[in-house]
Structure 1
Amino acid sequence: MDEKELDIRFLEAVDTASKMSQSELPQDVQLRLYAYYKQASFGTISYDYSSDFDLRNAFKTNAWMQISHLSTDEAKELYIKAINEIANKK
């Protein structure tokens, strides 16, 4: 599969995810999806502590840091797989 096909599948998964209600997903799944999305879209996290850093952001940052070893393509594949699994359970 080439890069363009992966990007198309990733954008389709993002579109599917945007139609899902957050209340339908457990928080751990939301964090995992967030981390995959951020890694796929921006690459490895660049930690920047700011004064408005709260507990919610700490969990999000931690989730992203835990998968920072993945390449952007690996993160896209895992995001697509997770979204497809969730969508197929409905």
Structure 2
Amino acid sequence: MKNEKLHKRFNEAVEFINNYTEPLPADVLLKLYAYYKIANENKNHPGSKTPLINAFKANALIQAQNLEPKAAMTQYIKLVKTLR
């Protein structure tokens, strides 16, 4: 998939999630979080004030740490497709 097309599909998937109103399971949210952070090459410390939430977010990032940004975009898109 060409970069432009991948970025377009990724941005569409992000927009879909940003407008999604149904509750999502925690595991799906954490995967989306990790894929999004890696896709945007933003691996900063999770910013929650709740240590337990930070731990779950950090764990999600660790589980996906071997993904390249393009692969993370692809995984994000695939996961969003399961919600449509």
Please confirm whether the aligned pair reaches a TM-score higher than 0.5, indicating the same fold. Answer: yes
Looking at CA atoms only, which structure, 1 or 2, has the larger radius of gyration?
1
Q: Deviations over 1:9-52 (max 9, x none)?
A: 0000000000113x521111110111111111116x36x59xx5
Higher helix share: 1
The match for 2:26 is: 27
The match for 1:63 is: 60
The match for 1:54 is: 51
Whole-Å separation in 1 of the counterparts to 2:76 and 2:32? 6
Unaligned runs of 5+ in 2: none
Q: CA RMSD in A?
A: 2.1
Q: Between the two proteins, what is the percent identity of the paired residues? A: 39
Unaligned runs of 5+ in 1: none
Task: Provide the TM-score with structure 1 as the length reference.
Answer: 0.81
Q: Does 1:36 align with 2:35?
A: yes
Letter in 1 for 2:55: A
- Using a 3 Å threshold, how does the CA distance of structure 1 residues 53 and 24 change in structure 2: closer, same or farther? closer
Task: Provide the TM-score with structure 2 as the length reference.
Answer: 0.86
